[in-house]
Amino acid sequence: MIFTYVWGFDLHEDWDYVDKICKIIEDKDGEVYFVELEADLEKRIERNKTPHRLEHKPTKRNVTRSEQDLLQTLEQHRLNSFEGEIKRGNYIRINNSNLSACEVAEIIKNRFAL
């Protein structure tokens, strides 16, 4: 299962939520892999307008509102971890500003030997 989450690293409740989800999976002998994606703001704004995203994410269809939400979230919260902040073995951080989804998937597959 792939689970995505916009994590406010400055929010204690977000850390608690992620810990809770991990515990549910690990209590059933599941493995958790963390993939932190980051991209330049310009690229994120551009991606929010692609036909694929608009088709599959109804909340993005109001492009003006979606862009405002993105900018507001970036102003109010820290959306990327500090170096060494995530202390799990199954962790990778990828700047996907100039990578396709297939390239990112290949990096993840190779890193975790999946």
- For the chain, the structural domain boundaries read 12-111
Cα–Cα distance, 34 to 108 (Å, whole number):
10
Tell me the pLDDT tens digit for each residue of 32-75.
999 999 999 999 999 989 898 889 888 889 999 999 999 999 99
pLDDT category of residue 102 using cuts at 50, 70 and 90:
very high
Instruction: Return the pLDDT at 53.
Output: 87
Residue 45 has what pLDDT?
A: 92
Q: Looking at residue 2, what is its pLDDT?
A: 82
Q: What is the pLDDT of residue 59?
A: 87
Q: Could you report the per-residue pLDDT of 2-41, keeping only the tens digit for each? A: 888 999 999 999 999 999 999 999 999 999 999 999 999 9
Residue 5 and residue 22: Cα distance in Å, rounded? 13
For 22, the token pair is 């991990």
Please report the pLDDT score of residue 90 as a whole number. Answer: 95
Please tell me the predicted confidence (pLDDT) of residue 77. 96
In 59-107, beta strands by DSSP E? 91-95
* Residue 1 confidence (pLDDT): 74
